[in-house]
Structure 1
């Protein structure tokens, strides 16, 4: 389970912009007006092979008689998120400076007894701004000047956060023995029914009404001599339909279930077809880098003509994730369950890789030879070697020069080419570039006595 970082602060201080920056997404709505964020937004931040969950929260502290009730609800949601987090990123506005509301918030946040990183935003181009001194009155040691819009100071902040966070809780024995499979989808698509049919008993509550499952339930089973952990998750609805506090935390649990799984099965209602929410959920799985199977449920009740239309719609709307495996099932009648497990075993087998650095580097060189990167500023980007970073998800680290200039399109090409070379099934390859430092940078070449005498002779000869 990953550690959680909550971003809190007054309205319109730049929390959503920072959230988008940390998660490398545009999931949070950003506009130059207060109160844009009301619901909590969840995402995953990656930094130097470390990752943690990030929660973007609504603005707190401001008072408005017209929106008194909704502000009270936003404050309640934000404080609950803050109490669940391992660390708080408290954001303030560097242009406005220290306010009375900030001082009140400082005393409220201290009561939570959590590590607090005071982040002073909107200091574009001047992170040494004198306004920072005012915030030392709050008595917080960890103060970080940044510009979330331009990205100034973000790397230093992430370095400090990853050092402060405790390591994620892992059960290494369980990871070795079990294949963890998370079942994800909208409410009432048949996730719990699928697990009940797999284990052959009514282990999970099922009812013909959305929202029956509210927490992530783990079910351990043994099938054909292999151990599995099936994780049933709460159905994730569109954000504008989620009002209940319990349901919001169910979303967080579902996100954690994705991160803890080896393989994620996205269940879709074949009768309803592909919806916008299905695409959003698949995007979340893609961001996690996990292996994915798209299980189209209720397939036995669909006519052939309609089935052809659904398949065409799947290929069109899910074209952004071309490595996913499709499977057509009926959770109620048990159709396709055996073949589903064959596919799970095949995916797990393909991801059990343990290649040496020389082997992986050779694969990278072959991909680069077929399609070299573009020349940047008259110099060709050189990718020197590649090694395995993590195996779940599969993350490959590539070292070279000018790696910061590599376009995202080339990164995508390498990911696909390496996935093909590794013979991966339904699994993406995450790539992380590291810029090689010049070992001679800052070092002065000290000449020997013989070299000095030779240099003098050459200078004397050239003068003639």
Structure 2
């Protein structure tokens, strides 16, 4: 499983800049879930062959006792608790502050690795910049520049050196299904309906645990594993304070699954959080089935409005099948499995090189890649580069000039030609001049 790395520090020390540098994106995935501030971002990163998850937290003011600063501090502490390692970021331009010392005091008590990153050190001598921060007692300070990328790779290599990450996820011969969605949409109820017994205790309270539950079962003599990421509570714990929903656990469950079932609440509008969770599953390349729950509570007019709302807000999930169900009553749950099985088969499909190359030629005949000045990219042949999701590697020349729009066109063309339902497909371009050149769709 990928290690999770939390970025913490005072406001305006460059956490988000470092986050964008690590994820190679300016489109931070915002998990706007109950108990999570908009300042917590989640994304993928990779150094060499080692992938990881990274969490960008809000500014940490450890002395705050109310208001938004208190909430941000509380959520930062939760992110630290969920992380496998922490990067504590300080500002080289401002120097050591009392708040830095308070944060360091908290971090020294952790039983996980902490790295001290002295940011905004571009144009400065590293040894001089780092000198005053030894006082924090967090080991060797790393002088970096998040905006320029200086020292960032070395820092991340040092952190990841302490983790063993399997280069390929474990592949089973049966589907692993992650049940995902916002708190209180009926995920645990759906798990119980799938299992046909009350294996997961469901309460009508959102966000009640941070743990994912793995359950093995059989259906029609075929084995499955279902991963319940819902907030559930043990018997006897009803009167205790509610634990907040954990995005990190959901992210890890998605990474560990072959198929994700996104559960929506038909009695509520499709929320921004729903789109964010779906977006992460799509970014992870997971096959997807959408279950619109609590369908029995709506009249015909409301149902039509829900379908329009879904089409407008979740249009990017056009590759997935949608089911309208009642998990509580068990209606429509059985039909989910035809789509789950189809999505799993599509995600794990093996595509022969001759067929892929012919499909590529047909796509190019229908629509050639656009010229870039005097150059037109030439697509020669294609082969499969992986599964879960299917990866198609296209070889050719001048592929660095192919625009994103044509890359998406090829993805949709392969999905359509091979009739792959329920899974995204990723295209990678490999130039003849540089076999490790530009890769898209990763």
Bin for the TM-score computed over the shorter chain: 0.7 to 0.9
Counterpart in the other structure of 2:302? 306
SS of 1:178's partner is coil
Contact 2:50 2:167 in 1 (8 A): no
SS of 2:243's partner is helix
Contact 1:296 1:328 in 2 (8 A): yes
Counterpart in the other structure of 1:262? 258
Deviations 1:161-209 (A, max 9, x none): 655542159884xx42331111122232222122212222111212333
SS of 1:42's partner is strand
Number of residue equivalences: 416
2:88 to 90, 109, 114: 90
Contact 2:286 2:423 in 1 (8 A): yes
Matched, 1:224 2:220: yes
Question: How far is 1:5 from its partner?
Answer: 1.3
Matched, 1:130 2:125: yes
For residues 42 and 220 of structure 2, the distance between their equivalents in structure 1, rounded to whole angstroms, comes to 37
For residues 431 and 117 of structure 1, the distance between their equivalents in structure 2, rounded to whole angstroms, comes to 36
For residues 174 and 74 of structure 2, the distance between their equivalents in structure 1, rounded to whole angstroms, comes to 39
SS of 2:317's partner is coil
Q: Map 1:36-435 onto structure 2 (within 5 A).
A: 40-46=40-46, 50-60=50-60, 67-69=64-66, 74-75=72-73, 77-79=75-77, 81-82=79-80, 84-97=82-95, 109=107, 112=110, 114-122=112-120, 127=122, 129-130=124-125, 133-135=128-130, 138=133, 143=142, 145-148=144-147, 165-168=163-166, 172=170, 175-212=171-208, 214-234=210-230, 246-248=243-245, 250-357=246-353, 359-383=355-379, 385-400=381-396, 402-435=398-431
Question: How far is 1:61 from its partner?
Answer: 6.5
Query: Which 4+ residue blocks in structure 1 deviate beyond 6 angstroms?
Result: none
Deviations 1:230-278 (A, max 9, x none): 1222259xxxxxxx88315x22212221111111111122233433332
Q: Unpaired runs of 5+ in structure 1?
A: 30-36, 237-243, 440-464
Change (3 A) 1:195 1:234: closer
For residues 73 and 82 of structure 1, the distance between their equivalents in structure 2, rounded to whole angstroms, comes to 14
Deviates more, 1:78-87 or 1:426-435: 78-87
Question: How far is 1:210 from its partner?
Answer: 3.0
Change (3 A) 1:245 1:212: closer
Matched, 1:27 2:32: no
More helix by share: 1
Q: Which protein shows a greater Rg?
A: 1
Question: How far is 1:223 from its partner?
Answer: 0.3
Question: How far is 1:358 from its partner?
Answer: 5.4
TM-score for both structures, normalised by structure 1: 0.76
Deviations 1:51-101 (A, max 9, x none): 3211112334676xxx45565665565355335433333333343356676
SS of 2:316's partner is coil
For residues 47 and 372 of structure 1, the distance between their equivalents in structure 2, rounded to whole angstroms, comes to 34
Aligned-residue CA RMSD (Å): 3.7
For residues 432 and 136 of structure 1, the distance between their equivalents in structure 2, rounded to whole angstroms, comes to 44
SS of 1:246's partner is coil
TM-score for both structures, normalised by structure 2: 0.79
Contact 1:132 1:145 in 2 (8 A): no
Counterpart in the other structure of 2:33? none
Q: Unpaired runs of 5+ in structure 2?
A: 31-36, 233-240, 436-442
For residues 385 and 10 of structure 2, the distance between their equivalents in structure 1, rounded to whole angstroms, comes to 38
